[in-house]
Chain A
Amino acid sequence: MHRFNKGVEGTQRKHTMPSAPSKLYADDVSLLVVTLDTNPFFWTTFPFPFAEFLSQVLAFLNSILLLGQLNQLIVIATGCNSCAYVYDSTSERNHGSTTGTMPALYSNLLHNLHEFLARDKQLEASHKPGTVPSSLLSGSLSMALCYIQRAFRSGPMPPQPRILCLQGTADGPEQYVAIMNAIFSAQRSTVPIDSCYIGSNNSAFLQQASYITGGIYYKPPQLDGLYQYLSTVFATDLHSRAFLRLPKSVGVDFRASCFCHKQTIDMGFVCSVCLSIFCEHHDKCSTCGSVFGQAQLDASEANRKRKA
């Protein structure tokens, strides 16, 4: 056990990324990629209104830009049928000053979000009535990582990237593999994933994401003060985290989803070749095609055949 004296971030990051290549980042310039859960089915069932949530988040996004002139901000909407970039602070279009009543950031973002929802609705696939379909977290994580990879290649001193997931919808176990892949590639490129989960239970995906990448997982208990949580916990840049004591996760749900029925399982079968996870015994691995020995029956049958 290592000593805990520098805040979760300090120790965990040291722990998780033992030999992370020292990248030359622009000094304390952050590139924050925010994924915004815009699952309409979730928000209509959730007691906290979306308008309230959005205005608190908008204020937070604005303060990120205010924290440093060079800070970059990307917002990705996580719908239940598609994902899209809805705001990019680096694009020229978003540099306009206040239009009418609100800053360009708000009006552009809201406008894009509006359009996104219209497009998302058109793509709609039918889901089981009465249930909340999951948001495409894997998609937005991948988009965030792609953007960050582009930023890495943008010049000699890219800003320090991090991802913040604002998620409310419960995990979609069918996205397990995709999300885990995104998490691991984030870890490989030393991009921490912070998660602010506002849903009623904890999100195992986001817990794992933050645990593996060395980000912060926090589930704010008081949603009407969301802005304050966001600004005190998630606004801190990576450098400052080494000196701050931030809330730390109190446990991670490491359960996996099976590849066959996409259910979260406690115990299951693991392919000895490719480590795919199944909830029941299969004769053949659906991922890598390995044929599993059918213990006794086949052995004795083979024996009998040989004998004959």
Chain B
Amino acid sequence: MSSGQVVKRVKYKATVKDPGTSGVLKLTQEKFVFKPNDPTSNNKLDVEFRFIKSHKHTKEGSGKPPWLNLTHAQGSYIFELESFADLHVCRELVGIALSKHVQVEATKVISEEQLSSAEMTLRIKLLQEDSKLQRLHKELVASGKLTESEFWATKKKLLDQDESRKLKQRIGFKNSLIFDTKPMSDGRINQVKFQLTPEIKYQIFTLKPAVHQAFLNFVPSKMNEVDFWNKYFKAEYLHSTKNAVAAAAEAAEDEDLAVFLKDDEILEIEARKKVRRVDPTLDMEADQGDDYTHLPDHGIFRDGSKEISEAQNSLYKRTLLQDLNRQGAVVLEGKTLDMEMENPRTVAEILARRKQESDEVLGDERQNRISKMTPIEDLQSQDDHRYAPLCIKDPRDYFDFQQANAVKTLDDSQPGMEQMICSLGSEEAYGSLRASISKIQATGLRDPLFSPEVALKVLHGLTKNISSSKYHLGKTSQESVLDILPNTTKEKLLDHWVCSQELLRHFWSSYPVTTQNLVNKTRRLKDSISQIYSKLEEIKVSAQSDLRHQVSLVVHPMQQALDAALLHYDADIRKRNARGSKSNGYV
């Protein structure tokens, strides 16, 4: 330790699942060296600490073997040590070594983001799913042309997309009838017990707006929460005994209790509201079941009881149908709150607020619906004529179409733009056109319109055109120069194309260069761009002679784009150097 060097016997694992290679790990403050016991193994490592981003280790007693995990840009080195004591020694040294490099690192990369493991796995997943992306990542990041964060900065959309894809499912209500919270009785004393959890309270609030309202009114001003729930369950109990007369009697005694026993006025209002939300054109008979204005003996009484009681007591009756409807509505609506439901008072308040908001939304919705249902035909724009989405095609598609064109026009070796010379004045021009029209007016169409020879020629020409495109191109839908080229060249070209596009995107987005970081980045990018440039040149030279022309046509626009970037870089450097002397070191 004092010598700044630690040597331990370890197993090196490339991945977590890797069984590991046994060997010796030598740690110094500058670097670490791993030598496998088996000299033929090619798992030798010699890595300087400046490439290591962070280190992790397993905890003692976590049931995992003592692992030291050194993360670098593309993955991590995992070492399994023989004991936790060994691990601590190593960890200490790695910590010192890394802290030394952190400062260097900090100036190098100003905002190297800290990635959560979730983000990391997401990126890895994206790479695994898309082999093209993976190749690009390997090409650009692994070779140090771009840093990890730079690479992903332009792929934000991909990351976000994935984020939205795994939207968490909302937890809804249990679809069990909360109305039937069954009392538990031990049978010995004249007392029943109800189970009450915050969740049940929440559900009661949403199911029964009257209880909710009562809670807001009474608690804690009139009674405390325990009393409130006692009263509530007493009322519930009376309901469950199906004794409407007894319920009425109790209600007469205790006015607070009456609140729970009466049919919810609020529910009624809500039902009316709901009725209003239905299409005005709909036959409302069907919705009667949800409405509280129907006659009492239309509903099926709770638990099928056919007992007919006096009309005044019907106020205290609920039908099973109503209960089921209400339950269904609430369950379908789902939870509107996503929070810990500890304090029923706050829950009740938030719910009340939420409901008001949703009522406003519903009001707007109703307005929209009405305007949709009752159109004044002359004033309405037609809804049925919708538009196709604007089509933005695959870049490859554009590439193919444009390339084919480039080759074609150049193969015809037509002069770029034949500027037609029109020596005639407008008078003569219009005159001659009018003369031709008069000519047809006078003589009619020529008869026959054209000779059979021409017709045959046209037919042959068209047939040849269509069949040649069929035979030459087979199944591909587009004529593409790329398909003429041998596969390896084609692959290489496409790779370079993708790569250069990515590099150019980064290059241009780093202008104007305002920080040292960007200066470094543009320099790095410029080097990679010139590398690709020379690679393209190579492809051009190495192409077979009969294809060379085509290849150079394909390569030309790519090189042009790269050229522009290089030119811009040089011009920018020159400009900055010219001013550099004056601007007191400001970049």
Contacts and interface: CB of A to CB of B under 8 A. Distances in A.
7 contacts: A41-B429, A45-B424, A49-B436, A121-B430, A202-B405, A222-B461, A253-B405
A296 B401 contact: no
Contact of B436 (A5, A51, A152, A249): A51
Contact of B466 (A1, A120, A247): A247
A261 interface: no
A65 interface: no
A190 B388 CA distance: 6
Contact of B388 (A11, A20, A246): A20
Nearest to B438: A114
Contact of B512 (A58, A117, A211, A296): A296
A297 B429 contact: no
Interface in A99-121: 101-102, 106-107, 110-111, 113-114, 117-118, 120-121
B572 interface: yes
B406 A251 contact: yes
Given A11-B477, A250-B408, A187 B426 contact: no
B512 A299 contact: yes
Interface residues of A, number: 94
Interface stretch (A88-96, A124-132, A138-146): A124-132
B462 to A, nearest CB: 6
A188 B387 contact: yes
Given A44-B424, A45-B422, 17 more contacts: A3-B477, A4-B473, A16-B391, A38-B433, A44-B422, A54-B437, A187-B388, A188-B388, A225-B455, A245-B466, A247-B466, A252-B405, A254-B402, A267-B560, A295-B572, A296-B576, A304-B583
Interface string A245-281: 1111111111000000000001100000000000000
B196 interface: no
Contacts of B478: 1
Contacts of A113: 437
B216 interface: no
Given A227-B450, A254-B398, A44 B429 contact: yes
A5 B576 CA distance: 57
A251 B513 contact: no
A50 B454 contact: no
A170 B417 contact: yes
Interface string B427-468: 011101110111111001110011000110111011001100
Contacts of A56: 449-450
B42 to A, nearest CB: 40
Nearest to B433: A40
B514 interface: yes
A221 B449 CA distance: 17
Interface of B: 382, 385-391, 393, 398, 401-409, 414, 417-424, 426, 428-430, 432-434, 436-441, 444-446, 449-450, 454-455, 457-459, 461-462, 465-466, 469-470, 473, 475-479, 511-514, 557, 560-561, 564, 572, 575-576, 579, 583, 586-587
B512 A293 contact: yes
B563 to A, nearest CB: 9
Contact of A267 (B429, B449, B564, B575): B564
Given A252-B401, A296-B512, A132 B420 contact: yes
Interface stretch (A25-33, A228-236, A283-291): A228-236
A228 B450 contact: yes
B469 to A, nearest CB: 6
The residue in A1, A23, A267 that gathers the most chain B C-beta atoms within 10 A of its C-beta is: A1
| 7 closest cross-chain pairs (CB), A and B | A251-B405, A295-B512, A251-B404, A225-B458, A51-B436, A40-B429, A4-B477
A124 B393 CA distance: 40
A5 B475 contact: yes
Contacts of B576: 296
A55 B417 contact: no
Contacts of A297: 575, 579
Nearest to A229: B458
B413 to A, nearest CB: 13
Given A110-B441, A229-B462, A250-B404, A44 B385 contact: no
Given A40-B432, A202-B409, A55 B440 contact: yes
A266 B560 contact: yes
B391 A153 contact: no
Contacts of B459: 228, 232
Contacts of B462: 229, 232-233, 247
A224 B452 CA distance: 11
Given A170-B417, A251-B407, A296-B579, A40 B426 contact: yes
A177 B479 CA distance: 28
Contacts of A207: 405
A117 B404 CA distance: 39
B422 A3 contact: no
Contacts of A42: 420, 422
